[in-house]
Amino acid sequence: MRKQLTNQTLFYIRAICALFLFSFFGAPTLLAQQTTTWTQNSLTEWQSVSSDGKVLVVCKVSNGTAINGNENIDCAKTNTYSDPAIVGSSSIEIEVSSIAAGNLSFEFYENTPGNIPVYIVNPIINVDKIGTFSITLGDSATANFNFTNGTWNELSSVGPIFQSTATSFNINDSALLISNGGECGNGIDSGTGAGSLSVNEPSHVIQMNTNVTGGLLGIPLFTASDKVEFVLSNLIIAEPEIEVTKTVTEAYSNPVSAGDVVQYTIEVENTGNVTLNNITLNDSFTDANLNPLTITGPNYVTNTMGSPMGTLQAGEVATYVASYTLTAGDLPNGGFLNQVTVTGDSPYGPADTTDISDDGIDTDGNTENDVTESFFPVPQDDNVSTDEDVSRAIYVTTNDSFGGNGPGTVGIFLFSNPSNGVANLNVNGTPTDPTDDFFTYAPDPDFSGSDSFIYGIIDALGHIVNANVSITVNGCPEAGGNALLKYCEGSTPTQTDLFTALTGTPDTGGTWTDNGNDSYTYTVTATAPCTQDASATVFVSYAAQADAGTNGSLVICEGATVTAAQLFAQLGGTPDNTGNWSPALAGAGTYTYTVPATSPCTTDAIAEVEVTEQAAPDAGTNGSLVICEGATV
């Protein structure tokens, strides 16, 4: 039989603990978002408003469990609770009797008119005085609390006297008959049990079955009761939210053609504070004229926190992909509109958390729920005629649309030259406004018949679509079409390279002019009776060669291992930081830094750092010396 403490002794112990806490930590402060003073609604129901005023907690009991009212958590032993501020907090005292099993529950509501039920993300149950000391021998027992609608895990406790599983807590039954030391005790085999338990699931209600075991309950007529205090903390209301962003990668060819692929990346982020399940996506996909189309996907790729497909923890992002392959019938419609709706199940119910995708582009001033757009221009074919040996202007852009992206700032261009004449671009004095560009077409001398050429227009995102111009009676010299040519820095293009780069079917025998701005114009002089020369320009860009810097040297202490940063710092010049060191880094030796060339350059850059070792100082080892008394060493 354990010793029993009088109420007066308990009072002194609590007073001393309170003075100790005040002296070392100052006045006790309430943990944010925890229960405060409890108010009685009925004999079996009490309520408390959380310290932040947001949550109403209702405590209900039945059968062999009763509510005694307000108390204070007094066990001040270090690390008993997951937050030390629990000590001294107002608590509710629950009494469990051995006469009958009972029930205990804590329900959570929004502290607003109507008391709307809410879920708490991971509430923490802080308990004290399990296995309460009482005056009679029959009360030397422990209450058992069994969690019936979830699981919890122990965060902290007064010691091994406090026992818990995933669904229960009590004190060590073997300590009941030998325990002494009052509230807290030594946490092993004396005092009462106390600790903190974190509920693993978002909860609207925590339901427990209760009973009493241990002590002298095996003796006929003996009964027992246990008075246990509760403080609920970490009362964070579950707020499910989800955000979906859909971005597009336009793998358009030049020009945009059937067979091109539009790829979409969908990122679904759980921006709330509670796990969402059964994540589903509903994709709406049309062309720019709102004709419905069928997209491939969305297909799940990965989650940032490793959750299975369809589940998102708070802060987790799931990635999906979708794609569409263009058909010839899509080209006249100028692009695609795509938006996805995502839904998920929260603790509050199925499919109650939803969002419509944004395109991830906020520079347009709209930061929410933008349709993901993918546009390209729509030029229209033209039919014109001209007299033999007479040139004419063809205003091809009059009936063209630059689409949802708008026109670019570069001119339209000739994509395919006519077979029996030449078409030259005229920017009409506005080189950055392609909407008024036109072509001047001149026929070959003495030619009559049908001819055609293809031109392209470029929108603001650089997407190109071509259209055909059909002409009757065409001709004149052919210089080909404008072209782009990329060289490695330090190289000079040859006329053969430039000619090969020209589009169309240029005539040979023309002349090249260096325009001085990395562009070269090829001109085929007109022959009588034609007067309009034909010309095309090749624009040359240069890729920087790889730079590994110049050789260097480094002295290290004997036995040390060099680092890549040390070696890189010894290189001279301005080396690129994209290279690799060989051989594997160790001590003294010669290390080669190689920066691989990038196309069209083909020569890797190489530099070396020679590393030498300097011997470490050697003071020998400790020794001893014996001298005659009075001698000087």
Question: Helix, strand, or coil here: 300?
Answer: strand
- 143 band by pLDDT with thresholds 50, 70 and 90: confident
Mean pLDDT of 15-19: 39
pLDDT at residue number 444: 86
349 or 191: which leads in pLDDT: 349
Q: How far apart are CA 444 and CA 420, in angstroms?
A: 6
For 407-422, letters b (16+ CB in 10 Å) and e give: bbeebbbbbbbbbbbb
Query: For the whole model, what pTM was predicted?
Result: 0.63
Q: Is 461 a residue whose pLDDT tops 90?
A: yes
Q: Is 546 a residue whose pLDDT tops 90?
A: no
Mean pLDDT of 397-413: 92
Between the two ends of the chain, the Cα-to-Cα distance in Å is 76
Mean pLDDT of 41-55: 97
Sign of CA dihedral 173, 175, 180, 182: negative
CATH 2.60.40.10 assigned to domain 242-375? The reply is: yes
Q: How far apart are CA 282 and CA 286, in angstroms?
A: 13
- Determine which helix (DSSP H) or strand (DSSP E) holds 25, and give its type and residue range: helix 7-25
512 or 362: which leads in pLDDT: 512
Q: Is 596 a residue whose pLDDT tops 60?
A: yes
Q: Identify the CA nearest to 403 among candidates 206, 250, 598.
A: 250
Q: How far apart are CA 566 and CA 178, in angstroms?
A: 67
pLDDT at residue number 244: 95
- 475 band by pLDDT with thresholds 50, 70 and 90: low
- 177 band by pLDDT with thresholds 50, 70 and 90: very low
Order of strands, sheet of 193-199, starting from the edge strand that comes earlier in the sequence: 65-72, 90-97, 225-233, 124-130, 193-199, 152-157
- 230 band by pLDDT with thresholds 50, 70 and 90: very high
How would DSSP label each residue in 506-568? PPSS-EEEE-SSSEEEEEE---TT----EEEEEEEEEEPPP---B-EEEEEETT----HHHHH
| Tokens 């001698």 -> residue | 631
- 187 band by pLDDT with thresholds 50, 70 and 90: low
Other C-beta atoms closer than 10 Å to the C-beta of 126 total: 28
Mean pLDDT of 44-49: 98
Length of the chain: 633
Mean pLDDT of 294-314: 96
- In the chain, CATH 2.60.40.10 covers 242-375
